[in-house]
Structure 1
């Protein structure tokens, strides 16, 4: 089966290919090859610094997971931040619900939570009622879980633990801002963008949990790349219109002039970061319902500021213009496209080196566990050591729909 075999064959070959992880890897590794040859406009690539990255990733991994019992990188780990068993709380409230409906409810939660997970900005915080205060991705996770548990995304007061098109479609900016504790003193980047995504979600699926039914209808296991194809097909229309090919909105896909004329398909670099983050996060609830997701290494590393920042902070990626580290850029600007592409390709190399040092196979330590172990936490720790507040070395203007 092809990467997108769960999806309908009603798009052009170019669009179908740009929705595959094979396309992500091919284009990102093309740019890495150019970088290694010194032919990229915005970054120098210093492969001699890769061992320092591997050392740091291994140190963090052994610190966080001494027995190397590393979970898959997914949204589920964020829900229990601070050692609070919030997922167990959700499970207790879903006790007695049939396994299929439990899966739909958990997919409802995680899809909405991932769509709310783009960068928060440095000032935003979420204070859990009666609990601690959290920032960035973990804060967004706890906020989205609490809104879900309160029934904000359900139109049925008798069934609060769900998200459905009716409730998502009528969600207001004020409701979302209140649920995420947004105020003048607690600003959240990209609030409007997040609301746009949730309203878009209401137009493409009766409920996010319907993804379970699409997957469960297939015989046998499903490959991770196929699952991503399903996510991209059904959720593709919700992304802001940026790059269009054959009248299809591609979402997190951007041109780079080193690959060809910027108006051509040849120049396009697909990332699908939030869609891949979502796909990683679907694996556990699907497995609980008896649907096995295989070939997890078919997905790529996530090109976001923690993984990408690690390579900049440890000297693997050196900006040719020092101003890159002082100004915020939009996600479509070429230095950001280049940085993200190099991050994806370098994560493949780091994963292979980490496995080699640990004498583990790709099956034993898939890329998703290297990210969790791993590169994401290492990127955060190094940033915290180098800059007040742990801000990333390169800043991207978040509209709530990419990072």
Structure 2
């Protein structure tokens, strides 16, 4: 899935970000209050809406927006949904879908391996797998593929990264006690993980390069450090990402967990793993970027990977009998498949041809605007799809429309338009964003 920038030390201003967004400068929200706001789904929509409104009135520097194309886009998405799920019984858009690429029942294999554990222990293991796999799911590049020995199948992009990380997890690559308890991810092993172990797990060699392998390794090593620094989330004994399960059980009310609270815990627990990001009050804001035309402080949050991770954690919680509330509070995912769908089908169009001819940093105005428009347009597409199908948001929440859905449709239209199904706009990846 995909987007990020270069390292910046926490004591310095991030390149291109004026001092006004640094701590201590007068704003309507400051310090930890601003951090809390920028970690919320409402902030994502509020800030993205500002750039969307500029595009609607023709004042965006980079894109036009044509809402008359909404019905056509919705019909395209519905056709894809019916092709994939004829009965419209659509699962969540999450990492679990990728684990069964090519129809191989890998999750049944996982359940067999987890037999004998308590329901809570199984959920902890599934959290471990989902979290590690999502964090490894940045753009893989056009040439990399993963060869699965068991099936003799080859997989590329997100499916390849998913299947590879699934087998690494099952083989105990992320466990410090590989012989006794292989099916876990723990802080000790993550901090000791080597680039060779990761490269071997992904089948990387001179003829099969994977974009951002060093960035992925650093991300996992920093995850190991983050697990140790937040024992209230990840446990004091043998800190594991999966111990978030216990946190959610303890903080549930009437066996209900709000989706936004899951996202909040993910953002709090994982904030320090992102390198070179904007900070406020010495707190890392993660997938948050600067745009000079956004009011107050110019900061635009997306939390794409964290929201996708949140969607991926909901199913193990449901298996424990917990009810997830407020699903549609979370936003659509600002990544290149959803954004490519909007661009390829004419909902948005570039104002300058070089936008499609050059590659762009994830911190660039072009990419920030593209992602912002994508977030708002996904809400519009979802509403139009529901209207055409006469279904409610409860019957067809955004997370199912993404799966059914816009992400699949974005990949399909990309394959129809361009060799290798590459996105219409090229993004410079360091292996940690998309």
In structure 2, the partner of 1:238 is 273
Structure 1 residue matching 2:241: 3-state secondary structure:
coil
Matched, 1:72 2:96: no
Structure 2 residue matching 1:293: 3-state secondary structure:
strand
CA drift at 1:330 = 1.0
Matched, 1:184 2:215: no
Q: Which one of the candidate residues 130, 139, 150 is aligned to 1:130?
A: 150
Matched, 1:18 2:38: yes
Matched, 1:58 2:78: yes
Matched, 1:323 2:343: no
Structure 2 residue matching 1:321: 3-state secondary structure:
coil
Deviation string, structure 1 residues 307-353 (Cα, Å, up to 9, x no partner): 00001111111111111111211110110000000000000000000
Structure 2 residue matching 1:258: 3-state secondary structure:
coil
Deviation string, structure 1 residues 125-160 (Cα, Å, up to 9, x no partner): 001013210100010000000000000001112010
Comparing 328-337 with 48-57, which one deviates more in the overlay?
48-57
Q: Which one of the candidate residues 374, 384, 387 is aligned to 2:405?
A: 374
Q: Which one of the candidate residues 130, 136, 143 is aligned to 1:116?
A: 136
CA drift at 1:290 = 2.4
Q: What is the distance in 2 between the residues matched to 1:193 and 1:354?
A: 38
| Number of equivalent positions | 390
Alignment RMSD (CA, Å)? 1.2
In structure 2, the partner of 1:210 is 243
CA drift at 1:266 = 2.4
Contact 1:79 1:142 in 2 (8 A): yes
CA drift at 1:219 = 3.3
Structure 1 residue matching 2:297: 3-state secondary structure:
helix
CA drift at 1:292 = 2.3
Comparing 240-249 with 279-288, which one deviates more in the overlay?
240-249
Structure 2 residue matching 1:346: 3-state secondary structure:
helix
Q: Which one of the candidate residues 222, 225, 243 is aligned to 1:200?
A: 222
Contact 1:228 1:276 in 2 (8 A): yes
CA drift at 1:241 = 2.6
Q: What is the distance in 2 between the residues matched to 1:162 and 1:180?
A: 18
Structure 2 residue matching 1:222: 3-state secondary structure:
strand
Q: Which one of the candidate residues 34, 46, 65 is aligned to 1:45?
A: 65
In structure 2, the partner of 1:8 is none
Matched, 1:247 2:282: yes
Question: Following superposition of structure 1 onto structure 2, how do residues 161-172 of structure 1 map, counting pairs within 5 Å?
Answer: 161-172=183-194
Matched, 1:82 2:102: yes
Contact 1:125 1:134 in 2 (8 A): yes
Question: Following superposition of structure 1 onto structure 2, how do residues 334-349 of structure 1 map, counting pairs within 5 Å?
Answer: 334-349=365-380
Comparing 300-309 with 216-225, which one deviates more in the overlay?
216-225
In structure 1, the partner of 2:317 is 286
Deviation string, structure 1 residues 183-229 (Cα, Å, up to 9, x no partner): 22111111111111111111122111111111111132111111100
Contact 1:40 1:258 in 2 (8 A): no
CA drift at 1:401 = 1.2
Q: Which runs of 5+ in 2 are unaligned?
A: 1-30, 228-238
Matched, 1:365 2:396: yes
Q: Which one of the candidate residues 177, 181, 196 is aligned to 1:174?
A: 196
In structure 2, the partner of 1:150 is 171
Q: What is the distance in 2 between the residues matched to 1:130 and 1:104?
A: 26
Q: Which runs of 5+ in 1 are unaligned?
A: 1-10
Contact 1:12 1:246 in 2 (8 A): yes
Contact 1:243 1:253 in 2 (8 A): yes
TM-score (structure 1 length as normaliser):
0.95
Q: What is the distance in 1 between the residues matched to 2:124 and 2:412?
A: 35
CA drift at 1:26 = 0.6
| Runs of 4 or more consecutive aligned structure 1 residues displaced over 2 Å after TM superposition | none
Q: What is the distance in 1 between the residues matched to 2:212 and 2:348?
A: 28
